[in-house]
Amino acid sequence: DAGVIQSPRHEVTEMGQEVTLRCKPISGHNSLFWYRQTMMRGLELLIYFNNNVPIDDSGMPEDRFSAKMPNASFSTLKIQPSEPRDSAVYFCASTDGASGSLSYNEQFFGPGTRLTVL
């Protein structure tokens, strides 16, 4: 298995632009997580999906952030409009999980997308 795949690996954009980050979870995993890593706040859970349904998005910082999971093999995290303070590494992770709750099985992380907003 190729593991969790994220694209792009690096993104540099200007303030105000729309940014879309992509994730392909491990085949057969039914839970997907989006994280943000910053120096100030460490690793933060933004949102997670179970069977393609968003379960908890309380970690999403603002309305500028949105995430979708149209099918079991693809998810996006979108920032519109982007701001310099959104600069961070964004990780996607997947695991097997029970329906409707946050699985406590081990998560497999993708390589991350390093976002720089100028």
Q: Given the rule CB under 8 A, which residues bind another protein?
A: 33, 42-45, 48, 55-56, 58, 91, 93, 101-102, 104-112
Of 18 and 62, the one with the shorter C-beta distance to another protein is 62
CB 6 within 8 Å of CB 110: yes
- Calculate the alpha carbon distances from 24 to 37, 49, 77 in Å: 19, 13, 12
User: Which pairing describes strands 19-24 and 5-7: parallel, antiparallel, or unpaired?
Assistant: antiparallel
Q: How far is the CB of 28 from another protein (least distance, A)?
A: 17
Measure the N-to-C terminal CA separation of the chain; round to a whole number of Å. 36
In whole angstroms, what is the distance from residue 32 CA to residue 55 CA?
A: 10
- Residue 30 Cβ vs another protein, minimum distance, rounded to whole Å: 16
Shortest distance (Å) from residue 109 CB to another protein: 4
Nearest approach, Cβ of residue 91 and another protein (Å): 7
* Residue closer to another protein (CB basis): 74 or 108: 108
Angle in degrees, CA 2, 9, 38, rounded to 5: 115
Q: Nearer to another protein by C-beta: 37 or 81? A: 37
**Of 16 and 28, CB closest to another protein:** 28
